[in-house]
Amino acid sequence: MSLPLQQKLIVPGLLLAIVIPAAIGYITYQQGMENTAAAGWVGHTYEVRAKVQVIYTQLAEITSSTRGFLINGQEEFLGPYTVAARDIGGRLQELRKLTADNAEQQKRVSALEALVARRLTYSQALLDIRRKQGYQAAARITARGEGLQIMAEVRELAAAMDTAEQILLQRRITELRENNRRTQLLFLGLAGSLAAVLLAAVWLAYRNAVVQQRVLDLTEQARAHSENIVNTVRTPLVVLDSDLRVQSANRAYYRTFLVSAAEVEGRAFHELGSGQWDIPGLRHRLEEILAQHTTLEDFEVERDFPGLGQRIMLLHASKIFRVGNNTETVLVAIEDITARKRAEATLTNLSRDLQRQNTELQAVNQELEAFTYTVSHDLRAPLRHIHGFSHILTEEYGPRLDAEARRYLARVEEGADRMGQLLDDLLNLSRVGRKELTLQVTGLNSLVEEVRTELQPETAGRQIDWRVETLPFVECDPALMKQVLANLLGNAVKYTHPRERALIEVGHLRQNGQSVIFVRDNGVGFSMKYADKLFGVFQRLHRQEDFKGTGVGLATVQRIIHKHGGRVWAESELDQGATFFFTSCNPAAPLETIEHANGGHR
């Protein structure tokens, strides 16, 4: 049963508890009244019967008194007659009043009055005859028996009236009994209802008590639960009363500040420990919390705590209203932020270091750029002059020089040429390193074709068998990817030079789910024990006289592939050709953005 329903039942229940006793009272009163009325009716019946009896008796007295006078003629015998004759009219009047509610009886009363009148007239006549004509004349009239006849009619009439009254009484008693029985039933019903209402009230009260007990149990459980939480929580908590004295503290407080409950409870907050919380600003703020409903947030306290050393604590406080005893308290939560502060300081330092390093790095980068510019401009200029003038010397003064001098001049020119090439390659390498990638989906086959066209001066007059597979489209920087292919294909052309028929393959295979591009040749190859030197700057595995080169090409290839997040490696055997592989991507920039529809055609 829900509480609202109980509440709804209270008013009707209360009304029933009032109405039912009132009804019982009313019914009881009503029955008493009816019984009184019934008793009245019984009395009335007896009164009627008595009245009839009196009238009959008086008539009998009139008869016997008349008879006495007739016999001895003495007037004193007529005393009872005179009294009865005088009163009987009043009696009849009373009887008529008594039976006023009953028309039948009224008719009988009228008949009785007529008989009484006849009897009185008859008696009067007898008395007159006796006085005037004597006994014999009167006796003759009596012998006719009229007096007896009147009395017989009166008896009959009285009996009828009596019977009528009896029947009436009987009927009233029966009605009363019936009425009493109904009333008793109603009484019983009402009493039963009252009992039910009382029973319900008692049951509700019992239930209420049970619920109340359960609420109390739950409240106690909740209190225990919250106390458990407060004690389990790792933040030190203190509850202060309105005088800022410690009401209680949790386990974390005792543990953190190395104190016991006895040392803390009941003492003023600012007196705790070494007076660590005795800070005028803090006390003022705590007082404000109670007075002005404010809260205290992030109040930092840095000092030497007994047994803990130098610490930084962060205080938060707010008002708590305790319903139980209607008191206001202040909950203070204390957070040890020493470690965090130190970490922050370290982080700030690190970040400052990083900032400085970054600035330094930028300066170095700028220096590098300036240097590159100088190399590009200032070193190339004298080189150009050396080359230019030695060339003019050879051209214009060659005929006047001997062969040795001309050979030396040629060496000067070659040296300047090579240095020019070296500078160009180095600058390119540095530019590749600094350049931002401009990624776009590029068909590798078209790049291979462009490179082959540009290699025509070197391949002219040579027998080269090109086998280029259908290559994928990849997301890459097309200019840089072209440099990769130009270097690899250029190398393949260069190192197959000794072969009568060169074979150069460009293909594509899958390895560990990655797309790998390879360039294979049947050239002079290299020994794998020098493979680690292959991609280093200025590292060469061949003599300049055999194969010209600056040793920067493969370093550039590696730098470009690394910039694309890919990997480059080579496999070879001396005099057995070489294969260079590369993946030009990391998983975030898949090599095969669009796989070519056609398969390879090897």
Partner 1 sequence: MRNDDSEILLVEDSEDDVELILHSLRREKVANKIHVARDGEEALDFLFCRGAHAERSRERPPGVVLLDLKLPKVDGIEVLRQLRAEPSTRAIPVVILTSSREEKDLVNGYSLGANSYIQKPVNFDSFRETVKQLGMYWLVVNVPPPSGAFPRAEGRT
Nearer to partner 1, 135 or 373 (CB): 373
Stretches 119-127, 299-307, 335-343, 410-418: which one binds partner 1 (CB under 8 A)?
410-418
Facing residues of 309 across strands? 305
Tell me how far apart the alpha carbons of residues 257 and 261 are, in angstroms, rounded to a whole number.
11
- Separation in Å, CA 601 to CA 427, 469, 509, 545: 39, 6, 13, 38
Residue 388 lies near partner 1 (rule: CB under 8 A):
yes
Listed in sequence order, the DSSP H helices in 553-600 are 553-563
From the list 193-201, 421-429, 538-546, 584-592, the region that binds partner 1 by CB under 8 A is 421-429
Q: Where are the alpha helices (DSSP H) in 440-574?
A: 444-454, 456-459, 478-495, 553-563
Looking at the Cβ atoms of 344 and 369, the one nearer to partner 1 is 369
Helices (H), 134-250: 135-143, 146-232
Q: State the DSSP H helix or E strand holding residue 128, giving kind and residue range, or none if neither.
A: helix 103-133
Residue 569, phi then psi, degrees to nearest 5: -155, 170
Asked if 431 touches partner 1 (CB under 8 A), the answer is yes
Q: Tokens 């005859």 appear where?
A: 129
DSSP 268: B
How many amino acids of this chain bind partner 1 (CB under 8 A)? 25
The minimum distance between CB 548 and partner 1, in angstroms, equals 14
Q: Does 549 bind partner 1 (CB under 8 A)?
A: no
Q: Which is nearer to partner 1, 60 or 383 (CB)?
A: 383
398 binds partner 1 per the rule CB under 8 A = no
When asked if residue 376 is in the footprint of partner 1 (CB under 8 A), the reply is yes
Q: What does the per-residue mask of binding to partner 1 show for 457-486, with x meaning CB under 8 A?
A: ------------------------------
Element (H or E) spanning 329, and its range? Answer: strand 327-336
Whole-angstrom CA distances from 194 to 19, 24, 198 are: 9, 10, 6
Binding partner 1 (rule: CB under 8 A), the pick from 151, 290, 410, 427 is 427
389 binds partner 1 (CB under 8 A): yes
Cα(319)–Cα(239) distance, rounded to whole angstroms? 10
Q: Least distance (Å) from partner 1 to the CB of residue 394?
A: 10
Distance CA 432, CA 428 (A): 6
Q: Is 60 in the site for partner 1 (CB under 8 A)?
A: no
C-alpha 559/C-alpha 467 separation (Å) is 27
Span from 77-85, 291-299, 383-391, 494-502 in contact with partner 1 (CB under 8 A): 383-391
Closer residue to partner 1, CB minimum distance, 356 or 431: 431
Structure tokens at 486: 């130009």
Q: How far is the CB of 478 from partner 1 (least distance, A)?
A: 17
Cβ distance to partner 1 smaller for residue 51 or 559: 559
- Cα angle 400-406-411, degrees, rounded to a multiple of 5: 155
Between 146 and 417, CB nearer to partner 1: 417
Strand 578-583 relative to strand 567-572, pairing? antiparallel
Q: For residue 514, state whether it binds partner 1 (rule: CB under 8 A).
A: no
Nearer to partner 1 by Cβ, of 8 and 385: the residue is: 385
Among 178, 302, 360, 378, binds partner 1 (CB under 8 A): 378
Strand locations in 446-593 (E): 463-468, 473-476, 501-511, 514-521, 567-572, 578-583
In terms of C-beta density within 10 A (0-12 exposed, 13-18 middle, 19 or more buried), how is residue 162 classed?
Answer: middle
Could you tell me the smallest distance in angstroms from the CB atom of residue 390 to partner 1? 8
Nearer Cβ to partner 1 (254/389): 389
Q: Is there binding between residue 437 and partner 1 (CB under 8 A)?
A: no
Is residue 405 a contact point for partner 1 (CB under 8 A)?
A: no
For partner 1, the closer CB: 108 or 387: 387
Q: What angle (nearest 5°) sits at the alpha carbon of residue 522, between those of residues 520 and 527? A: 85
How near is the Cβ of 401 to partner 1 at its closest, in Å? 17
Query: Using a CB cutoff of 8 Å and minimum separation of 24, what contacts does 44-47 make?
Result: 44/98, 45/165, 45/166, 45/168, 45/169, 47/98
Cβ nearer to partner 1, comparing 193 with 376? 376
Q: Which of 380, 406, 499, 542 is in the footprint of partner 1 by CB under 8 A?
A: 380
> Contact between 420 and partner 1 (CB under 8 A)?
yes
The DSSP call for residue 78 is G
Q: How far is the CB of 368 from partner 1 (least distance, A)?
A: 13
Binding site for partner 1 (CB under 8 A): 372-373, 376-378, 380-385, 387-389, 391-392, 413, 416-417, 419-421, 423, 427, 431
